[in-house]
């Protein structure tokens, strides 16, 4: 594995654009089948009401957005959604719950059942549930979880401008716990949150320095949602996305680079350049957890137009077996941090949220 420096990654990123795309496409062809792109489906199994303060997220309970809080989906609902996704070409289902961290409670036991249900459909099962202890990671692995998603989001420095309720080291600790449980790691970030290009590249450096590198690296463009502290962020240009995808491809040649949130504002031409530059997966479905996403039939038309084929499941790694007799691992509780520093925009939007909810309550009791 090559040990990258920030200077080297910056040099890659600043390569003249067409030259960069050509280099990334060449790396992509050495390590992946360029005619295949994986279709993954992201399913929110528990929406909204999250105690965290991520500035980009409409599921944070403290902000006032149009996301409605929902209870956990049942096994039947998840199975139906997974079967539909599979019939439309998805080989991976990623289940997301708006939690700070996993707790050893009945909701987690339910997630274990959901993982088994989807594994039995011969799909790659991924979950994104927040911070995870070693013991919890092992339980998920024994249930047949293929991948765990935990994004670094941005650089360690800029993370402090976006989230105050947990620290960067918690992210890295969770990724380490996923590795110890021998699951594949899915970790990437979001661009367009007001960060500098250097922050994006520092994030790539952190990811590329993990040994082994993550098997999956989602690159999201911020979808600015009304009511969140980042609601007024201007969208990034497609060229920034292409550069980011290409750079990710070059510095992590074996990883599947996932073209994730933000595709609704990309043209087919823009997405085609991202595929050429090494994006090997898209997320399908009209919603990405809670934000809009292109219709799956439009995506299938795009695949037809570009001559792409959806990747079969377990193309790179074996399907994990479900261990009914799970091996016991000492239940150690992790001490997650709570930095609690003040992020002005997050504080302002929390107050706006409180005020709007207070007014709604007052109006309701007046009627």
Whether 126 is catalytic: yes
Angle of the 238-251 helix axis to the 197-209 helix axis, nearest 10 = 20
Catalytic option among 166, 171, 179, 186? 186
* Residue 45 lies near ligand SF4 (rule: CB under 6 A): no
Identity of the residue, 15 or 337, whose beta carbon is nearer to ligand SF4 in the bound complex: 337
- Provide the 10 A C-beta neighbour count for residue 210: 17
Stretch of 29-37, 48-56, 278-286, 306-314 lying at the interface with ligand SF4 (CB under 6 A)? 48-56
* Residue 27 lies near ligand SF4 (rule: CB under 6 A): no
Element (H, E) at 106: helix 106-119
Whether 57 is catalytic: yes
* Among 9, 20, 39, 50, contact with ligand SF4 (rule: CB under 6 A): 50
Residue the block writes with tokens 């600043």: 14
Task: Report the alpha-carbon distance of residue 100 to residue 251 in Å, rounded.
Answer: 30
Identity of the residue, 44 or 117, whose beta carbon is nearer to ligand SF4 in the bound complex: 44
Identity of the residue, 96 or 313, whose beta carbon is nearer to ligand SF4 in the bound complex: 96
CA dihedral 126, 130, 134, 139 (to 10 degrees): -50
* Residue 195 lies near ligand SF4 (rule: CB under 6 A): no
Q: Is the peptide bond before 212 cis (omega within 30 degrees of 0)?
A: yes
Which tokens in the block code for residue 8?
Answer: 């080297």
Catalytic option among 126, 166, 171, 263? 126
* Residue 60 lies near ligand SF4 (rule: CB under 6 A): yes
Strand 189-191 to strand 216-221: parallel, antiparallel, or no bridges (unpaired)? parallel
Whether 50 is catalytic: yes
Identity of the residue, 102 or 185, whose beta carbon is nearer to ligand SF4 in the bound complex: 102
Whether the Cβ atoms of residue 74 and residue 43 lie closer than 8 Å to each other: no
Whether 186 is catalytic: yes
* Among 94, 98, 236, 252, contact with ligand SF4 (rule: CB under 6 A): 98
Task: Report the alpha-carbon distance of residue 91 to residue 69 in Å, rounded.
Answer: 28
CA dihedral 230, 163, 41, 99 (to 10 degrees): -130
| DSSP summary character for residue 160 | H
* Residue 170 lies near ligand SF4 (rule: CB under 6 A): no
Rg (alpha carbons) of the chain, rounded to whole number: 20
* Residue 161 lies near ligand SF4 (rule: CB under 6 A): no
Residue the block writes with tokens 């062809």: 29
Nearest-approach distance from CB 196 to ligand SF4, in angstroms:
21
* Residue 52 lies near ligand SF4 (rule: CB under 6 A): yes
* Among 89, 130, 285, 320, contact with ligand SF4 (rule: CB under 6 A): 130
* Residue 59 lies near ligand SF4 (rule: CB under 6 A): yes
Nearest-approach distance from CB 127 to ligand SF4, in angstroms:
13
Whether 94 is catalytic: yes
- Provide the 10 A C-beta neighbour count for residue 70: 13
CA neighbor of 17 nearest in space, from 263, 273, 198: 273
Residues forming beta bridges with residue 36, ordered by sequence position: 309
Whether 139 is catalytic: no
Task: Give how many residues touch ligand SF4 by CB under 6 A.
Answer: 8
Identity of the residue, 98 or 193, whose beta carbon is nearer to ligand SF4 in the bound complex: 98
Identity of the residue, 50 or 236, whose beta carbon is nearer to ligand SF4 in the bound complex: 50
Residue the block writes with tokens 């910056």: 10
* Residue 353 lies near ligand SF4 (rule: CB under 6 A): no
Q: Which residues bind ligand SF4 (CB under 6 A)?
A: 50, 52, 54, 57, 59-60, 98, 130
Q: Which residues are catalytic?
A: 50, 54, 57, 94, 126, 186, 258
């Amino acid at each position: 594995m090559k040990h990258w420096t920030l200077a080297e990654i910056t040099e890659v990123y600043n390569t003249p654009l067409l030259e960069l795309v050509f280099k990334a496409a060449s790396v992509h062809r050495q390590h992946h089948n360029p005619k295949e792109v994986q279709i993954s489906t992201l399913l929110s199994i528990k929406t909204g009401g999250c105690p965290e303060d991520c500035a980009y997220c409409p599921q944070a309970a403290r902000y006032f957005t149009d996301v409605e809080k929902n209870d956990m989906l049942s096994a039947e609902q998840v199975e139906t959604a997974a079967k539909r996704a599979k019939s439309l070409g998805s080989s991976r289902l990623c289940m997301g719950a708006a939690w700070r961290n996993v707790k050893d409670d009945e909701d987690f036991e339910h997630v274990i059942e959901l993982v088994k249900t989807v594994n039995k459909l011969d799909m790659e099962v991924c979950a994104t549930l927040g911070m995870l202890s070693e013991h919890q990671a092992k339980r998920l692995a024994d249930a047949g979880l293929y991948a765990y998603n935990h994004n670094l989001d941005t650089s360690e420095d800029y993370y402090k401008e976006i989230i105050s309720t947990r620290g960067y080291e918690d992210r890295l600790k969770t990724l380490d716990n996923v590795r110890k449980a021998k699951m594949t790691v899915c970790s990437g970030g979001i661009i367009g949150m007001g960060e500098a290009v250097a922050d994006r590249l520092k994030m790539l450096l952190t990811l590329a320095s993990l040994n082994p590198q993550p098997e999956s690296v989602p690159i999201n463009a911020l979808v600015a949602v009304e009511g969140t502290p980042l609601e007024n962020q201007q969208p990034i240009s497609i060229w920034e996305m292409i550069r980011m995808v290409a750079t990710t491809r070059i510095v992590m040649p074996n990883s599947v680079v996932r073209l994730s949130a933000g595709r609704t504002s990309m043209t087919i031409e823009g997405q085609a350049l991202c595929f050429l530059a090494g994006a090997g997966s898209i997320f399908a479905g009209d919603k990405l957890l809670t934000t809009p996403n292109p219709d799956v039939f439009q995506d299938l038309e795009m695949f037809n137009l570009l001559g792409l084929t959806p990747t079969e499941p377990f193309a790179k790694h074996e399907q994990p077996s479900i261990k009914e007799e799970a091996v016991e691992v000492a239940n150690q509780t992790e001490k997650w941090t709570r930095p609690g520093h003040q992020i002005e925009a997050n504080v302002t939007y929390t107050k706006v949220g409180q005020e709007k909810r207070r007014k709604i309550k007052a109006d309701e009791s007046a009627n």
